[in-house]
Amino acid sequence: MKQLFTSLLVFLCCTSVFANGIDTAKAEKRFSKKELLDDMDYLVATTNEVHPNMYHSISKAKYRKLRDSLANLLHDGMSPLQAWPVMAPLVGSLNEGHSSLNLPDELLVRLKANENILFPVVFSGFDGQELVVRADVSTENKLVVGDKLVSINGITAGKLVDLLSRHMGGLKSWRAVDVCRDMPAYLDIYGIKGPYRLVYLHEGKTMEATLNPISLLSLRERLGRLPKAPKKTDYAFDRLADGNGYLKINSLTAKPEVFKSFLDSAFRQLKQQSPKRLIIDLRLNGGGNSALGEMLLGYITEKPFRMTGGVRWKVSQTYKAQLDERMKGEGAKEMPYYFEAKNGTVLKSSATKPQPPSHNDLLYKGEVFVLIGPKTFSSANMLANTIQDYHLATLVGEATGEPANDYGELIYLKLPHTGFTFSTSTKQFVRANGQADDPRPVLPNYTVKDNPVTQADEVLEFVSKLK
């Protein structure tokens, strides 16, 4: 999963793609209306082919109406940058965080030209109403860290999050993370141009400012002057000043044997130190392998649990082809149950009965608190849901970034004419307790928000002060 500031702009600023250039011939490409309609129909038909429940958030009739209304906006001679935002809602309206239309290559070409087209403010988060300023790198330099953006060009922050995330689904809290990360690029491609008229809050007082756009070169240079964020590690163990054990798990992508070795080391130290509490931090965890989450639970509980209440997996020729390529032609041998299944059917895995984990000599028997938030996603969300449904620990923080009944097992697709790429899901995972109709994310036992303006970690401080 992408994390804060591993964005399109940072990608351009820090890799050889920016230095070596991109084929600018694509920028001259124009499409006929028929080509664009063909791509639109391919997107709809292929999503329907591979997705286990394409219409879980929007009815088939409403989706068809949306498709027709967007088709009416297409015309001969459209460029990729004109066509992309028109097609984007076809993916976003699926309303799940794993479905997204990727930004077109032509945007990279446009940014590489270093015209003054980019919004010059970056954000640390969205508090539900306003966007919290991380830095103003404009020439005017009006805003300071912690100011809260109310609107841009008359569009409120909340509406901006919805508008600039039309190409992706998921809960608003999750979409806001993505919008904050790539705001300059999104404003440009969605047609919100400078000069930018801002309304913002400074120490509670409403202020106004007009900022001019800047070039990618200027943005790169000025962002480079900001204090460097601490390097993010996949996982780490520490002992906090208050004596609590602190296990930070930012990813579930390690090899199982490597992750087990880390857990053995961490929990061996816990057994020797015997702290009253263990805090497991999943707030920056975008997921990976759910088996690692199940492995972790074996170190903190002896209670029976299961990670999912069932799985529904759509069988399609398109995904068979992608799997077979990934497995170097050995797909039918490696996964006969999927390759032998009839295309169009849904493989259903019934929920197993909750089982206790295997005996673990390193089992931690003290209090366990698990920190969650909007960036807790995918397999980390599944882990948090298992903890919630089976009361395996106390959850603290904010709601996770997607419903506990979620989708995954991604397929990556490309439209034949425009070349736009998008991803969507082939599997549906029922939440651990089996309540398949529950639309809510994983909710904490204690709701505590970290203030991005302060140096303190208010969520950790809350746990430390609990009696």
Beta strands in 354-402 (DSSP E): 367-372, 394-397
Q: What is the model's pLDDT at position 87?
A: 97
* DSSP letter string, 389-442: HTT-SEEEES--SSBSSEEEEEEEEE-TTT--EEEEEEEEE--TT--TT---B-
Q: What is the model's pLDDT at position 225?
A: 87
Q: What is the model's pLDDT at position 400?
A: 96
**Tens digits of per-residue pLDDT, 235-250?**
999 999 999 999 999 9
Q: In angstroms, rounded to a whole number, what is the distance separating the alpha carbons of residues 290 and 382?
A: 7
Q: What is the model's pLDDT at position 149?
A: 98
Residues 6+ apart with CB under 8 A from 282: 249, 370, 371, 372, 376, 380, 383, 384
Q: In angstroms, rounded to a whole number, what is the distance separating the alpha carbons of residues 414 and 222?
A: 35
Q: Which two tokens mark 251? A: 């990813």
Q: Is 205 exposed, middle or buried (0-12, 13-18, 19+ CB in 10 A)?
A: exposed
Domain boundaries, the chain: 235-465
Q: Would you say 410 and 425 are in contact if contact means Cβ atoms under 8 Å apart? A: yes
Q: Which CATH superfamily is domain 235-465 in?
A: 2-enoyl-CoA Hydratase; Chain A, domain 1 (3.90.226.10)
Residues 6+ apart with CB under 8 A from 266: 237, 245, 247
**Tens digits of per-residue pLDDT, 49-64?**
999 999 999 999 999 9
* DSSP letter string, 439-453: --B---SEE----TT
Q: In angstroms, rounded to a whole number, what is the distance separating the alpha carbons of residues 99 and 175?
A: 11
DSSP 35: H
Q: Which two tokens mark 280? A: 């497991």
Model confidence, pTM: 0.85
Going by C-alpha positions, the residue among 412, 330, 416 that lies closest to residue 98 is: 412
Q: Is 160 exposed, middle or buried (0-12, 13-18, 19+ CB in 10 A)?
A: buried
* DSSP letter string, 238-254: EE-TTS-EEEEE--B-S
Residue carrying the six token digits 């302060």: 454
3-state helix, strand, coil in the chain (%, to 5): 35, 20, 45
Q: In angstroms, rounded to a whole number, what is the distance separating the alpha carbons of residues 364 and 393?
A: 12
Q: What is the model's pLDDT at position 108?
A: 87
Q: What is the model's pLDDT at position 7?
A: 52
Stretches where the chain sits below pLDDT 70 are: 1-28
Q: Which two tokens mark 201? A: 């809050």
Going by C-alpha positions, the residue among 229, 207, 208 that lies closest to residue 135 is: 229
Q: What is the model's pLDDT at position 15?
A: 37
